[in-house]
Copies of this chain bind each other. A is one copy, B any other.
Amino acid sequence: MKHIVIIGGGFGGVNLAKQLSNKERFAVTLVDKNNYNFFPPLMYQIATGFLEVSNICYPFRKLFRNKKNIRFHMGEFVELIASENKVILSTGELQYDHLVFATGVYTNYFGMENVKRNALPMKNVSDAIVLRNHILQMLEIASVTKDYAERDRLLTVVIAGGGPTGVEISGMLADLRKFVFSKEYHEISGKGLEARIILVDGMDVLLKPMSDKSHADVLLTLTEMGIDIRLNMQVKDYVDNTVIFANGDEIATATLIWAAGVTGGEFKGIPAGAYDRGKRLSVNEFNCIKGFSNVYAIGDTCIQKHEVSFPGGHPQLAQVAIQQGTNLGKNLLAVEKGQPMKPFKYWDKGSMAIIGRNKAVVDLPNKMHFRGFIAWMMWLFVHLMSLVTQRNRVTTFYNWLIAWFTKDQALRMIIRPEEKPVSKL
């Protein structure tokens, strides 16, 4: 019986576990700091009130209920003692035969402490809820304040990061402004005021990794939606409700959404030489970490270079994580049967980004490109099918249906659970 420990229950970790489920010779322990899996591509919809948390989250214990050989252990990684095949967690220790890091990435503030302290990241469910609360709160204060400078700051949102996250959240905010804001915030809309949405990026195009056609489409569409796009602009600081750029420009705002960079995690017990750029763990073609024989990494947290096809490693996308998880699972099973491992080969199924109510951009590998309504339908379908359970699909679809028909969302509640400090046990 081989014990596989997987740290992280995202796309990579869950797919790896699925490959090994109900396989008698394997006992799997999945470790995660949260007790649920969530679906990052749709998180910005929690942040803008179109979806509820439960639409895109699912508890691990429920997910693995019928898988006899998979256990869930809630906790965080603390240290790796590779010489003893042991990993120490915040809630105990585990011995392993194989250990897999599927930990994803974290928000990168590029050393800017004020940005880290004051901006709103968008990497997990907590972030999304905090952002939702913040935006709603700002609107409520703006409705009643008599200080006009304050009101301008409250009605200005700056989004840093022109990747899919930044683009998607800008689009949704623009829809909110058009369909909801004017109807329900009479105190502030239509009085010569405007809620400004400003999307900034250090690059010269939005959605850099996508095709030129996608670059052109997204720029045009977002501009038509009334979003102020400022390219070649690098954020340098965010303090006293002012975003300061490298070129000296400033924008006064109470809301800076930070979707401008990611970085891998640092793991005590893994030597510095195993990391590559972006703090990604260097792995070989079987996803085994450099310098180890039974410790692996899959998904965003690793970098696997292929001389011809991906000399700089794969893009940090869900599909890569899913496929690497599946491949590693099959490889571990193969080894158990005395068969050789297969190197990982990424099957690029294309990429897509949603822009607004009816609009998206899709690039398929054969250089096909779609935009507008048909791209949007494709985006909806792929994301709905990628959700981890049928229940998630039904409830997400229901919320989308309602939102689409009513041009609105109803999930705009500011919920702030005020936690008591948990008594020391």
A392-423 Cβ-contact flags toward B at 8 Å (1 or 0): 00010010001000001011111111111011
A345 within 8 A of B: no
Q: Is the CB of A417 within 8 A of B420?
A: no
Q: Is the CB of A241 within 8 A of B52?
A: no
Q: Is the CB of B53 within 8 A of A413?
A: yes
Find chain B residues with CB under 8 A from A241 CB: 423, 425
Find chain B residues with CB under 8 A from A140 CB: 35, 74, 91
How far, in Å, is A400 (CB) from chain B's closest CB?
14
Q: Is the CB of A416 within 8 A of B413?
A: no
Within 8 A of B (CB), among A209-244: 240-241
A126 within 8 A of B: yes
Q: Tell me the nearest residue of chain B to A75, going by C-beta.
A: B144
Find chain B residues with CB under 8 A from A186 CB: 71
A19 within 8 A of B: no
A133 within 8 A of B: yes
Of A54-62, A278-286, A302-310, A379-387, the one with at least 4 CB within 8 A of chain B: A54-62
Q: Cα distance A75–B215 when bound, in Å?
A: 44
How far, in Å, is A73 (CB) from chain B's closest CB?
6
A153 within 8 A of B: yes
Q: Is the CB of A391 within 8 A of B410?
A: yes
A136 within 8 A of B: yes
Given A126-B415, A150-B425, A415-B125 in contact, is the A141-B59 Cβ separation under 8 Å?
Answer: no
Q: Is the CB of A144 within 8 A of B61?
A: no
How far, in Å, is A181 (CB) from chain B's closest CB?
10
A185 within 8 A of B: yes
Q: Could you list some 17 contacts between A and B, CB below 8 A? A: A34-B413, A34-B414, A35-B414, A53-B413, A59-B412, A61-B185, A61-B412, A62-B410, A65-B184, A74-B140, A74-B141, A74-B143, A141-B425, A391-B402, A395-B398, A415-B417, A416-B419
The 5 A-B residue pairs with the shortest CB-CB distance in the complex, in nearest-first order: A61-B184, A74-B140, A36-B413, A129-B417, A59-B412
- Give A contacts to B, CB under 8 Å: 34-36, 52-54, 57-59, 61-62, 65, 71, 73-75, 91-92, 117-118, 120, 125-126, 129-130, 133-134, 136-137, 140-141, 143-146, 150, 153-154, 183-187, 240-241, 254, 391, 395, 398, 402, 408, 410-420, 422-423, 425
